[in-house]
Amino acid sequence: MTIPVLSPPDHELRVTPSDAPPEISIVVLVGERPVPLVELFEEYSAPLRAAKRTFEFVFVAQPHFRKLLAPLQALIDQHESITLLEAGQSVADAALLRMALTTCRGGIIVTLPAYRQVEADAIDALIQRVEQGTDFVVARRWPRRDAIINRLQNRILRIAIEPLAQGRLHDVACSVRAMRREVLTEIPLYGDSMRFLPLVALFNGFSVEELPCRQHQGDMHGRIYGPGVYLRRLIDVLGLFFLLRFTEKPLRFFGLIGSAFALSGGVLLLWLLIERIGGEAIGGRPLLILGVLLFTVGIQAVALGLIGEMIVHFNVSRRQSYRVREVISARRE
Amino acid sequence: MLSVVVPLYNEEENIPQLVTSIQEALVECPQWELVLVDDGSSDDTARVAAGIACTDARVRLVRLARNYGQTKAMQAGFDHARGEVVVTMDGDLQNDPADIPRLLAKLDEGYDLVAGYRLRRQDKLLTRKVPSWIANRLIAWMTGVRIRDNGCSLKAYRRSLISQLHLYSDMHRFLPALAAATAAARIVEIPVQHHARRFGRSKYGLSRVAKILADLMTITMITSFRERPLGLFGTAAAGSVAAGAVVLYLWLRSLALYRVEPEGAYVLPAVVLLLVALAVYLVMLGLVAEVTVRSATQEEQDTMRRPLRGLAS
């Protein structure tokens, strides 16, 4: 796998002078349907100012939207704590976030899309929950006063991931999220894993909570995407199932598929064998090809699963695969 | 120092007596610690265990962030244990801590791993004992590591072995085989006592048969072909080619002996091609496996570990 080339740090338009790190880093991923960023900044920074928090904003833009960053320069000149980053190539959202992580310094990180999903005052509520000890707090647009088509799409996505989420998450499509920094440094961020970050965090042993937030007016108009987007989403969900359930035991997945194929092929061949013993010629029967084909496919799947197991076996020693909540001992350590 | 590691999952009623009986069993042991691992229990296990950890300085409680399963709980216990010798046991009082001194004595005879096997096992015959008997035979036969009772948690390990073991998935069931394959450990078995469960429920069911079969394939591959995976895939490929050759022979013979109906003339050659294609595919996969082993071994050598024992004794 090649990682897309990102622009080197000297492409940063400007970094604010580094003094004491702020409490909170707000990362704005400038990707789909962006709104004017200066307004967005004013709107979402107001509740933070009101709560007297120290914060920094990091705007990371896809190359396509780099022009949108320019107006923010004026704010930087007024000594607002803003960092502007742009990717050299068009990259996945996760790559944008990785870029942002290299510069943000806050202990709590809030991710925002470059459009208004929830009302600005939700931000502070999310941050408060993180401060109270939850690792990862996700905004849930609730009550939902959305266009029917959006609700329908959200419902389908929710049903698709329900076997994994088990009622714990209702709005994974909402990308307004606040989290402790560790969540982002401990979870591998790549591809479209961003979208399902709350689920991945749950499976990694972080505490994840949903907080109902008022949906923003601008988020309510109906949206329909191209068929490619839905296909990608479907593949993402399938990939997610595999990654969360079978990362450490690939053979259980491939073995299930493989043995289904091999068994059905085997049954066909057995049947043909019985007919052959009964005296019938089977050398010209297309069923013979089908039987052998199914059997071969089954063997291939199992063999692939074994390779997966081998890769897991050799890699598992390199990382700790569980999270410890706390160690309790009477002795002072 | 001796470390006793006990993974706990919803065992609130068993903990107090477990700790007491360990304390009694180790009265003569000069220095020991007990590492309790709470594997994301949903009952009061964490609170009960924390209460004990706060009063007895020898007891520590490691709380995992969620329920990870017994294997990872055990690995977490290993990672937090400090002793030169580590003993693992179940938290359900079915193992008897009174056996620990005997395990330690056996370990001192020069073994890396002493596994207990349950004498007069107190479990249901049909759902527990019979499947377990079959599984143990299968494991012994396929891995070549002859252990009578892989399911018994009461085991003693040397630290040098534990630092080379990395448990994942449900591998705790195959721990002796894994220890033999990855660390060339010296393994011995001794009989231990087994009590019927008094509180709580067993967390196992029959549903795990398919999982165990898959794991068994994995462990077989790891024990027999860890060093040369191409051997496994190459053998399978050779088998496939041989089957193809047989079919080819049958086809040629039928061509020679009988007049073949035109509509069926392509069936047998197609079967031959399928089998050859499978062989090619398997060889390619075997090469991928070799590359994996090679790069992993390279990385391991970069952080070279000490052998289990020096040559001088």
Minimal CA separation from A124 to chain B, in Å: 26
Angle between helices B229-257 and B209-225 (to 10 degrees): 100
Q: From the CB of residue B193, how many other CB atoms can be counted at a distance below 10 Å?
A: 16
pLDDT for A227-255, tens place per residue? 988 998 889 889 888 988 888 899 999 99
Q: Are A160 and A172 in contact (CB under 8 A)?
A: no
Q: What is the pLDDT of residue A4?
A: 46
pLDDT band at B235, cuts 50/70/90?
Answer: very high
Tell me, what's the ipTM? 0.86
Burial of B124 (0-12, 13-18, 19+ CB in 10 A): exposed
Q: Which residues contact A239 (CB under 8 A, 6 or more apart)?
A: none
A311: chain B residues, CB-CB within 8 Å: 292
Q: What is the pLDDT of residue B198?
A: 75
Largest Cα–Cα distance of chain A, in whole Å? 93
> Whole-angstrom Cα distance, residue B225 to residue B246?
28
Indicate whether B87 pLDDT > 90: yes
Q: Which of B217, B234, B166, B155 is nearest to B188 (CA)?
A: B155
SS3 B249: helix
pLDDT band at B210, cuts 50/70/90?
Answer: confident
Q: What is the pLDDT of residue B312?
A: 47
Q: What is the pLDDT of residue B278?
A: 96
What CA–CA distances, in Å, run from B278 to A111, A213, B185? Answer: 48, 55, 37
> Whole-angstrom Cα distance, residue B37 to residue B5?
7
Q: What is the pLDDT of residue A285?
A: 86
Q: Which of B241, B232, B205, B218 is nearest to B286 (CA)?
A: B232
**For the residues B73-87, what does the mean pLDDT come to?**
95
Q: Are A71 and A36 in contact (CB under 8 A)?
A: yes
> Whole-angstrom Cα distance, residue B266 to residue A121?
72
What CA–CA distances, in Å, run from A48 to A207, A280, B270? Answer: 24, 83, 70
Q: What is the pLDDT of residue B183?
A: 87
Q: What is the pLDDT of residue A253?
A: 92
Intervals of chain A under pLDDT 50: 1-17
Q: Are A5 and A87 in contact (CB under 8 A)?
A: no
CA angle A294, A296, A302 (to 5 degrees): 105
Q: What is the pLDDT of residue A7?
A: 47
Cβ distance A306 to B218 less than 8 Å, yes or no, reads: yes
Lowest-pLDDT range, A269-278, B119-128, B145-154, B243-252?
B119-128
To probe the interface with A, which of B164, B267, B268, B297 has the most A CB atoms within 10 Å?
B267
Window 102-141 of B: residues touching A by CB (8 A cutoff) are none
B47: chain A residues, CB-CB within 8 Å: none
Q: What is the pLDDT of residue A82?
A: 93
> Whole-angstrom Cα distance, residue B43 to residue B220?
37
Q: What is the pLDDT of residue B304?
A: 60
Window 148-187 of B: residues touching A by CB (8 A cutoff) are 166, 168-170
Lowest-pLDDT range, A2-16, A195-209, B18-32, B268-282?
A2-16
Cβ distance A299 to B80 less than 8 Å, yes or no, reads: no
pLDDT for B123-134, tens place per residue? 777 777 888 888
Q: What is the pLDDT of residue A134?
A: 94
